Structure 1
Amino acid sequence: MSVKENEDSVSRKSIESVEKQEKSPEVYDGPPLKYPKSVFFIITNEFCERFCYYGMRTILALYLTDWLLYSEDTATVVYHAYIVLCYFTPILGAIIADSWLGRFKTILILSLVYAVGSVSISMSAIPDFIPPEAFTYVGLVLIGLGTGGIKPCVSAFGGDQFVVPAQEKQLQKYFSVFYLAINGGSLVSTFITPILREDVECFGRDDCYSLAFGVPAILMLVSIVIFVAGKPLYKCKEPEGNIVLQVCKCIGHGIVMRVKNRKEKKEHWLDHAADKYDQKLIHDVKLALRILFMFLTVPIFWALYDQQGSRWTFQATRMDGQLGEIVIKPDQMQVVNPIMIVVLIPVFEVAVYPLFKKLNILQKPLTKMGVGGCLAGLAFVISALVELAIKPSAAILPVSGEAQLRIYNTINCPIIISATGAVTIDEFEISPLASWERLHIAAQDAGQTFTLVAQPSDSCDSGINLRNFNVEIRGNTAQNYVLHNGIGASTQISLTARFEDSPDKNRDGTGKVRVVVNPIDSGNNVVQFLGARGYTFTVDQNTLESEIQNLEADDYEVFLNSERIGSTHLVKGGGVYTFLFDEETPTILSRQIVTPENNVNMMWLIPQYFIMTTGEILFSVTGLEFAFTQAPLTMKSVMVAGWYIAVAVGNLVVIFVAEAKIFEEQMYEYLLFAGLMFAGMIILFIQAWGYKYVTIATEESEDNLKKLEDKRSSISSEHKHE
């Protein structure tokens, strides 16, 4: 959950009235009014809607890689394209509501669109039911239109239920409760949906994305029912015209007239719009553009911030989530940000900002924003260092024109291998229940063959014969072969058919296990791994290899044909293992590590989350406050629209970098974004150097000024009459 969701809860900064003894004509002197009951329907609706949005968004990146089998780069592009849509459509929703349909109808219609999208993406995760990719995109587009379209309407619709100024204090409390509903929905869904995704099995799979998407979809349907139930209590205002649209028209007209009247000099290019628009609007638009110009570097911050749901989540999949008896899921790490926001904002208000004031540092909003942006850049430097620590345990995957080869020895004596032809192997001795591997072999993707020579070492029993094998190898593939005795032929070296390995890590914190058994008879072998959960592998005596299974990280008791082998054997998250057995000596097994397990704990992500959240408070909250205090009251909607566009543009930057594939290693991409952030903040500091802060009058102070001017005019007239 982001503080950017709090635009409508940021209160206006007031200035002292011109004459304190004068009572504003806006002050309400009547009896207290009852708190509008309709507000409770709106707040409950917001909780359910935010649960749906953040629950779906939390698991989206992993869904794209685990279910649609996208690469991390492609998943990142799709994820951030979805965020772009979510932050461009609020402007469309505001225009529809303010210009044509009104807020109630806009919220209802777009919520129905939203619900259809939520159901669509949930159904796409049901195996063999509907085309998953097509319905995923349909769902994301509909959700983007729905959540973005209602975003600027819901909180404002709640504000419409109050009578101002009679219920000014109740209105302020409403925005606080509204923000609490946003945080509550975000926190609960961000924690729960990863559990539904991973800990529930459905449709024969170890995960249940359909349920993880389905529960938020149900909450969205519930939110619509709650919203409609409050209809008899709502105060629905008629559309009054959209200020954002009006501002855009004014700017467009100003540009056109500036081009037409090139020879006519004006103090400001926007003054050319005076033939159609009044001076107050033109003056306010000038001030708004002045503020928006200061926000040129804001998109860079959101480019970094929103990667918490994509790149940082993928980073967490390569880390160890074990925390005592608890296993943290990669997508659950996203809950750290909203928790820290809730904790740190009061800390800043009570302790940090007073300390800054006492030390006379960071007193100006733009300075705070600059420091906040630098902290965001520092968070990405730290994430690059974490990535460097993760690198030794990263999976090495085959690429086009290159193959990986592993040879396992299940014979109860050392075997010396060598190879000639397309692959050359100098003589190498493989111990019993051990392996040989080479991870980078030039090979054609279509496949080619070489000759593998296998002979017993001098320490083996006499009678085992040397064998030559024609072996196939394919580029862009990890493959293995198994040396064994052959059923009932202890003196015969045999080689299995080619098996493809799967060296890439699981993203859900589980480990991959394959079992290989050297048989002594023609029956199938059964291997069991018993821990908190049990897993059974059936090994065909003809192939010797089982299918790969995903095992929870745990210590397991291992049984071969019901006979326990050794004490316990460890499977860790992210590890890829091949367990080798010899049925003739069932008390022995060997664990061969294909890919190292995740060995950097997920808690090492906390520093970068903490620094990013601190940067968010200084940058985002302060930025909104700066916009609302420096811009005219009539331009508040324009500021919110500009903020949404900045979020969308920031995500477009992420898409561009991900698609460009500038770096092969993620660490360097993190450093690139950090560099962009630091460069952007240098620009912001330069802009801030020459910025002159202004005091924008509130509605109350403007009324007081008008009253004072009227009073002075009256006094002046009286003097003249005298």
Structure 2
Amino acid sequence: MGKKKELGKESADEPHLEAMQGPTLKYPKAVFFIISNEFCERFCYYGMRTILSLYLVQWLMYSEDTATVVYHAFAAFCYFTPIIGAIIADSWLGRFKTILILSIVYAIGSISIALSAIPDFIPPEAFTFVGLVLIGLGTGGIKPCVSAFGGDQFIVPAQEAQLQKYFSVFYLSINGGSLVSTFITPILREDVKCFGQNGCYSLAFGVPAILMVLSIVIFVAGKPLYKSKKPEGNIVLRVCQCIGRGIVMRVKNRKGEKREHWLDHAEDKYDKKLIADVKITLNVLTMFLTVPIFWALYDQQGSRWTFQATRMTGDMGGWTIKPDQMQVVNPLLIVIMIPVFEAVIYPLFKKINILQKPLTKMGVGGVLAGLSFVLSALVELFIKPTEAIIPMGGEAQLRVFNTLNCPIIISATGDVEIDAFEIEPLQAWENLHIAAQNSKTFKIKAKPGERCDPRLLETELDVGVIEWTAQSYALHDGVGSSPIIKISETSIDSPQKSQNGNGKVKVLVNAKDDGDNVVEFKGKTAHTFTVTGEAAFSDIFEFEPDNYEILLNGQIIDSKYAIKVGGVYTFVINEMNNEVFQMTITPESSLNILWQIPQYFVMTAGEILFSVTGLEFAFTQAPLSMKSVLVAGWYIAVAVGNMVVIFVAEAKIFNEQIWEYLLFAGLEFIAMIILFLQALLYKYVTIASDEDAEEAKQEKVILESERL
């Protein structure tokens, strides 16, 4: 084999190599610049990606489905562009120039997103998408170049041991950058105030952008020390050309000479060794047909699982876990669990003789990924009782508040029927499912109850509802000596829970006059706003969970009221008698966010069995000369997996998230049945030598580093 011939040549120069392996052969200092560059770049990428889905919902006001589509479209793009970057580097510019140019593109994209989050500065949506495209080109384009460029700095085989340590440190720098940024950027997003607003997306995106600029500075600083190889052509491009030639010639020769394999028709232009290697590689790649489904589940940690976390409580007593911070669990578990698998679990499997073949391990890993989505569906089941009830198509929500100091009986007939209902003072009536197409106006009768001013008469009032919308009205008696039952202007409600883990508050004030009324909520922090009108609703505000004292125009109205994580409330304040009523529109989130840890744990175990084993399988079963083709195949699988998520999110098959989780779990189980059937027919290839096996493992580490 080619490897043995190389070893034979090297043996002739053993004295020279022994001399090179002595103390005169120093560890290349250039790699420290490359490793530092990688830490900063991964900090930027994972910091930005961690908060991206929440940014799309909270800042750009997208729905969770639309945000999921954008998030996974971006992820798919990031895994298509590495193939372009590899071709550019290997065929034209070389690795140094490719990394430098695309890193600048990357930095511009990061800065663009940071600027888009500054209020009223630039068009946020346009600059966000420009930024995402540039980041996708940058991070994807440099992905296949950086680790390999670091490897170029070593003299092999003289520095083989040092090279292996480099890849270990390189992998550590990736995980270090992702761990730190995944923890820090959610804090910047929520806890730092800027531009007069709670939370600071511009800083949360800005810090990763600064780290990306720093990575370029570090990378350029090491230029005098780098060893750069000239472009030698890209094997992926050659393989694609060979396959294309085989297809074209097979069609042309369909009535001519029969060949054993359709690729043999490319022998007129490509040598037999390349064709043989392509055949083996294609055989291995067919075993990756189910890989995209695994990545469809895996990459939802940053979208669907993060949105699920927003509907849970992260309260740990004196500290709160933010929804997007839960993404740190996966890389943290990876760092812990891989050594455990290598030192304990795999030796145990070997001792009892189970899961010894790579494809079997991959199948079990895929099943675990499916089970993690069953667990997420179970968590969703427990979240459901605290979920917001949102008006759907063909319906509207209506709430009518009574701000008077006596009961009012309301009723309606016709298009909307309301059985006579007595609303106690400062209480409310609600119907969460009123049939409505577009908009509808109807009349309700408001009749004074007992204890009301005898001058109040039964009144007919106009009420309007709008499809897909939750609305509130307030009944009041007006200001002056001749009271009459009146109804306020409509107020749009927002029953959805806060994406930040806060409580949402609206205030309705029945005032002594129609002037300005200053309302203040005092807890650990204070929130002050003005409500204008004799019976008027405030805007909707987000408050940190706490117990709050309520003041109206500087006067304490009543005792403290609890605002809890995820709760949505309307406070009715009657200035006449200093009374307050707290109505819960949506109950607080009661399920703790730590209940997501089991699904993260099972997914991480599945990742180790499926992804890490899959990479080792690829590099031990295909020719090592085809490693770039395997890299390309793996990237395409990740990209296609994200496209599957986009399809499901856009199809909007289910109204409830629990069924979507179970759908993905079912797809993964079906995919693993297919993989197990493929495994039964697959014949494993034995690596020719220990050196080949070791090189295959090394290449597996490279690919795993590039995937991250």
CA contact (8 A) 2:380 2:657 kept: yes
CA contact (8 A) 2:406 2:450 kept: no
Partner of 1:707: none
Shift of 1:429: 0.7
Instruction: Between 567-576 and 396-405, report the one with greater CA deviation.
Output: 396-405
1:275 to 260, 264, 268: 268
CA contact (8 A) 1:318 1:507 kept: yes
Partner of 1:664: 655
Note the 1:618-633 alignment, pairs <5 A: 618-633=609-624
3-state DSSP class of the match of 2:196?
coil
2: CA distance, partners of 1:182 / 1:23: 34
3-state DSSP class of the match of 1:469?
strand
Give 2:18's aligned amino acid.
D
Deviations 1:670-717 (A, max 9, x none): 111111100010011011112121123359569xxxxxxxxxxxxxxx
2: CA distance, partners of 1:343 / 1:400: 47
1: CA distance, partners of 2:562 / 2:480: 32
CA contact (8 A) 2:442 2:463 kept: yes
Give 1:468's aligned amino acid.
E
Partner of 1:4: none
Partner of 1:609: 600
Partner of 2:671: 680
2: CA distance, partners of 1:568 / 1:355: 58
2: CA distance, partners of 1:108 / 1:196: 29
Shift of 1:416: 1.0
Note the 1:647-662 alignment, pairs <5 A: 647-662=638-653
Note the 1:302-701 alignment, pairs <5 A: 302-445=295-438, 447-460=439-452, 462-489=454-481, 491-586=483-578, 588-697=579-688, 700=691
3-state DSSP class of the match of 1:326?
coil
Instruction: Between 471-480 and 362-371, report the one with greater CA deviation.
Output: 471-480
Note the 1:76-475 alignment, pairs <5 A: 76-262=68-254, 263-445=256-438, 447-460=439-452, 462-475=454-467
Structure-2 change in CA distance of 1:232 and 1:664 (3 Å):
same
TM-score (normalizing by structure 2): 0.93
Shift of 1:70: 1.2
Shift of 1:487: 2.6
CA contact (8 A) 2:510 2:535 kept: no
3-state DSSP class of the match of 2:559?
strand
1: CA distance, partners of 2:47 / 2:481: 58
Structure-2 change in CA distance of 1:635 and 1:419 (3 Å):
same
Shift of 1:23: 9.2
1: CA distance, partners of 2:93 / 2:13: 29
3-state DSSP class of the match of 2:537?
coil
Give 1:600's aligned amino acid.
L
CA contact (8 A) 1:421 1:449 kept: no
Partner of 1:718: none
Structure-2 change in CA distance of 1:204 and 1:420 (3 Å):
farther
CA contact (8 A) 2:571 2:580 kept: yes
Deviations 1:97-135 (A, max 9, x none): 111110000000000111111111111112222221111
Shift of 1:285: 1.2
Give 1:655's aligned amino acid.
I
2: CA distance, partners of 1:567 / 1:456: 29
3-state DSSP class of the match of 1:65?
helix
Shift of 1:45: 0.3
Give 1:192's aligned amino acid.
I
2: CA distance, partners of 1:700 / 1:492: 93
Deviations 1:269-296 (A, max 9, x none): 2222222222221121111111101111
2: CA distance, partners of 1:24 / 1:379: 51
Shift of 1:462: 4.2
Instruction: Between 475-484 and 636-645, report the one with greater CA deviation.
Output: 475-484
2: CA distance, partners of 1:248 / 1:523: 75
Shift of 1:402: 2.1
3-state DSSP class of the match of 1:325?
coil
Count the aligned residue pairs.
684
3-state DSSP class of the match of 1:558?
strand
3-state DSSP class of the match of 1:36?
coil
3-state DSSP class of the match of 1:126?
coil
Shift of 1:141: 0.7
3-state DSSP class of the match of 1:476?
coil
1: CA distance, partners of 2:142 / 2:299: 21
Query: What is the root-mean-square deviation of aligned Cα atoms in Å?
Result: 2.1
Partner of 1:29: 18
Shift of 1:414: 1.6
CA contact (8 A) 2:509 2:535 kept: no
Structure-2 change in CA distance of 1:579 and 1:102 (3 Å):
same
2: CA distance, partners of 1:430 / 1:109: 68
List runs of 5+ in structure 2 lacking aligned partners.
694-708
Give 2:234's aligned amino acid.
N
Structure-2 change in CA distance of 1:242 and 1:699 (3 Å):
farther
Give 1:619's aligned amino acid.
F
CA contact (8 A) 1:632 1:696 kept: no
Give 1:637's aligned amino acid.
S
Structure-2 change in CA distance of 1:442 and 1:22 (3 Å):
closer
Structure-2 change in CA distance of 1:489 and 1:610 (3 Å):
farther
List runs of 5+ in structure 1 lacking aligned partners.
1-14, 703-722
CA contact (8 A) 2:474 2:535 kept: no
CA contact (8 A) 1:374 1:615 kept: yes
Instruction: Between 382-391 and 462-471, report the one with greater CA deviation.
Output: 462-471
Shift of 1:472: 2.6
Partner of 1:10: none
Partner of 1:54: 46
Structure-2 change in CA distance of 1:701 and 1:391 (3 Å):
closer
CA contact (8 A) 1:375 1:612 kept: yes
Deviations 1:29-85 (A, max 9, x none): 112311111111000000000001011111111111111111111111111111111
CA contact (8 A) 2:518 2:553 kept: yes
CA contact (8 A) 1:26 1:700 kept: no
Structure-2 change in CA distance of 1:26 and 1:187 (3 Å):
farther
2: CA distance, partners of 1:379 / 1:25: 55
Shift of 1:190: 0.6
2: CA distance, partners of 1:503 / 1:583: 26
Deviations 1:446-503 (A, max 9, x none): x432222222223446444333222233323211111123234585433212222122
Structure-2 change in CA distance of 1:343 and 1:548 (3 Å):
same
CA contact (8 A) 1:403 1:442 kept: yes
1: CA distance, partners of 2:535 / 2:199: 28
Shift of 1:656: 1.1
Structure-2 change in CA distance of 1:634 and 1:25 (3 Å):
farther
2: CA distance, partners of 1:417 / 1:689: 71
